[in-house]
Structure 1
Amino acid sequence: RPNDDLLPDCVKRPAADQLPRYVRVNTLKTTVEDVVDYMKRDGLFYLGQASRLDDLTLKTKEFMRDIHLPELLVFAPKTDFHDHFLYKAGHIILQDKASCLPAYLLNPAPGSHVIDACAAPGNKSSHLAAIMKNKGRLFAFDLDAKRLATMSTLLLRTGISCQQLANQDFLKVDPDSPQYKDVEYILLDPSCSGSGMVCLQEDTSSVDQEKIQARLASLASFQLKCLNHGLSFPQLKRLVYSTCSVHSQENEEVVTACLQQNPGFRLVPVLPQWPERGLEPLTQCLRASITKTRTHGFFVALLEKQSDTGNKEQEPVLQKR
């Protein structure tokens, strides 16, 4: 599965078996309505739009439109699309719901200049490009050349042409370079413990707690550096910070430290209807989990440059598009 979704292959783990199969429709190639029609002709049963989380308990061959994200369809757990025509043609992307949140909440305008700081294997980049309607410029950086090659294949399959990929450390990208003078949006999903991923959750009973804490401290330091670096781009309006971690050291604590060091930015409250919030006092942020949101574990924060015009810019992320 060379171009699989962001999730590791967890199908043999019981907890992963409980999760719905989420499918994001690639709006650069098709529409949600057309994919729904295709699936119905394929013999699947469409139950309409979900109105509450409990609706997402689906039987085999049933599917729905997601309650929060308009371009997301939800299928029964373990529904396999890897050999499906729509997947191979780039019309659908297999991506956990929680990992669709960063691009959705960043919501870059078509024609804008955007950075995906730690981009491979590319699902979030492809989502950003779709929101941008493939117009503007999407700068995507990653240190892993092999994953970047996989990403290039994914973007080709999904019909994206606004990207500029670079096998480069984001921390070494010069914010003052003329190339990035118009960058207004950054998606930062840096390396993290992966503790929110169902199949990566560590059995801590036999693990040295001191080693775990040392690793978390090291990751948090790196994440804060990335966040501070992202906020230094001169024309930046919004930055989304996300991790697939459940640890506050990598989530709320990193954001709190960043805000203390960057008083020109503030947290924007997002998706008030989302059932799981950041830990107090950062309830503007989102958390995700198997039990409360039927997704893998995730954390998302939206930071916005403060301006004299008040809160006008936060409206798109508060409303369903």
Structure 2
Amino acid sequence: VSPPAPQVPRYVRVNTLKTCVDDVVEFFKRQGYSYLGKAASLDELKTLSGKKFLLDLHLPELLVFPPQTDLHDNLLYTSGHIILQDKASCLPAFLLAPAPGSHVIDACAAPGNKTSHLAALLRNKGQIFAFDVDTKRLATMNTLLMRAGVTSFQLAQQDFLTVDPGDPKYSRVTHILLDPSCSGSGMLTRLLGVEPPPGAGRLQALAAFQRKVLSHALGFPALQRLVYSTCSLQRQENEEVVQAVLQERGSTFRLVDAFPAWPCRGVDAFPGARSCLRACPEDTLTQGFFVAVLERCGEGDAVPSSLPVAAEETPQHKEGTTPAAAPKKRKRKKQRVK
């Protein structure tokens, strides 16, 4: 399966806690890159070469560079103004779409790119409770979040399964992002056969854990919206996990038809599975990924309409799905980037 790797572009998420798309575009232009504007199709992303870059056609704060572009030493990266993050990995926070002021749980949070994306969507207003079991990864994550200018977060070295949904601390948690351990079969190294595919026993164990952790997450009393995602292409870890948990809690939660403009949908494992999103190098020019959006039934009727509107409005709003984002603040920051 060797073709995919070179086809996946270098994606750069603009960190709106520190800057805005226009300023980052100007910065790269001054570094000798030529900006081709907003992409109209995936084909335009495929043909990028040299020092050219585009604004992504699906996600509002995502810039797209040719595959071999290395920006690890770039000032904007080292100062936290941009985050190097695969496009598919930007979908979970974008689709969770918490409003500023919300209380959010990032259940399996390290290394922290999705957490920093959530903070940007929240505009640092509200609270993020981030959990991970690995001490080293949490330390790295803390550094990443500080560099990105994230302020409203609490990191805990804790297995999310041991977090008590009844704890008053989490009584206002309305949004959960759940990206649990998975086989990683969508990662490019695995797709290229550099690493062996997961065995049946490993997949079974992972799927059992994923069902358990998804079911646990749906037990938080104020929860309105949850995004479940993996970087796996295996049905057992994706559609089948969602199906099993919905059968268990189907009267309380439902699957949302997320981001209709996204070209690649869930496999038909059960009725409604096409509401889920999939990603892979061939179809979406990203790493392999899966995303499902679940919402509490019958409550918060404003929630379902919020995302389709945001997704439809994306083309008009260069700087994101939050057009009301504090213009004064942005202007002040502009001085700093230049």
TM-score strictly above 0.5? yes
Q: Which residue of the other structure, out of 131, 135, 140, is the alignment partner of 2:125?
A: 135
Deviations 1:250-287 (A, max 9, x none): 00000000100012100000111111000113010000
Q: Which residue of the other structure, out of 230, 242, 245, is the alignment partner of 2:232?
A: 245
Aligned to 2:216: 229
Q: Which residue of the other structure, out of 245, 259, 280, is the alignment partner of 1:289?
A: 280
Counterpart contact for 1:99–1:298, Cα < 8 Å = yes
Amino acid of the residue matched to residue 264 of structure 2? E
TM score, norm. by length of structure 1 = 0.92
Alpha-carbon offset, residue 117 of structure 1:
0.2
Q: Which residue of the other structure, out of 139, 148, 154, is the alignment partner of 1:149?
A: 139
Q: Residue 202 of structure 2 aligns to a residue in which SS?
A: helix
Instruction: Name the Cα RMSD after superposition.
Output: 1.7
Q: Residue 275 of structure 2 aligns to a residue in which SS?
A: coil
- Structure 1 runs, 4 residues or longer, greater than 6 Å off: 204-207
Amino acid of the residue matched to residue 183 of structure 2? S
Counterpart contact for 1:23–1:74, Cα < 8 Å = yes
Aligned to 1:164: 154
- Between the aligned partners of 2:138 and 2:194, the Cα distance in structure 1 is 32
Alpha-carbon offset, residue 16 of structure 1:
2.3
- Between the aligned partners of 2:129 and 2:50, the Cα distance in structure 1 is 40
Unmatched runs of 5 consecutive residues or more in structure 1: 1-12
- Between the aligned partners of 2:58 and 2:206, the Cα distance in structure 1 is 30
Q: Residue 40 of structure 1 aligns to a residue in which SS?
A: helix
Deviations 1:229-267 (A, max 9, x none): 000000000000000000000000000001000121000
Q: Which residue of the other structure, out of 198, 203, 224, is the alignment partner of 1:216?
A: 203
Q: Residue 29 of structure 1 aligns to a residue in which SS?
A: coil
Deviations 1:168-219 (A, max 9, x none): 0000000000100000000000000000001123749987xxx711111100
Alpha-carbon offset, residue 316 of structure 1:
2.6
For these two proteins, the number of residue pairs brought into alignment is: 305
Aligned to 1:93: 83
Aligned to 1:301: 292
Aligned to 2:318: none
- Between the aligned partners of 1:237 and 1:89, the Cα distance in structure 2 is 34
- Between the aligned partners of 1:89 and 1:132, the Cα distance in structure 2 is 20
Alpha-carbon offset, residue 15 of structure 1:
3.4
TM score, norm. by length of structure 2 = 0.87
Calculate percent identity across the aligned residue pairs: 60
Q: Which residue of the other structure, out of 103, 111, 120, is the alignment partner of 1:121?
A: 111
Q: Relative to total residues, which structure has the larger helix share, 1 or 2?
A: 2
- Between the aligned partners of 2:129 and 2:40, the Cα distance in structure 1 is 36
Counterpart contact for 1:24–1:93, Cα < 8 Å = yes
Higher normalized contact order (CA 8 Å, seq sep 6+, divided by chain length): 2
Q: Residue 36 of structure 2 aligns to a residue in which SS?
A: strand
- Between the aligned partners of 1:309 and 1:202, the Cα distance in structure 2 is 44
2:175 maps to 1:175: no
Amino acid of the residue matched to residue 290 of structure 1? P
Aligned to 1:267: 255
Deviations 1:85-108 (A, max 9, x none): 000010000000000000000001
- Between the aligned partners of 1:132 and 1:59, the Cα distance in structure 2 is 34
Counterpart contact for 1:114–1:186, Cα < 8 Å = yes
Query: Residues 163 and 206 (structure 1 numbering): CA distance in 2 closer, same or farther, change over 3 Å?
Result: closer
Amino acid of the residue matched to residue 225 of structure 1? K
- Between the aligned partners of 1:96 and 1:272, the Cα distance in structure 2 is 20
- Between the aligned partners of 2:231 and 2:115, the Cα distance in structure 1 is 16
Unmatched runs of 5 consecutive residues or more in structure 2: 315-320, 322-338
- Between the aligned partners of 1:205 and 1:20, the Cα distance in structure 2 is 21
Counterpart contact for 1:194–1:201, Cα < 8 Å = no
Q: Residue 274 of structure 2 aligns to a residue in which SS?
A: coil
Alpha-carbon offset, residue 308 of structure 1:
5.2
Alpha-carbon offset, residue 14 of structure 1:
6.2
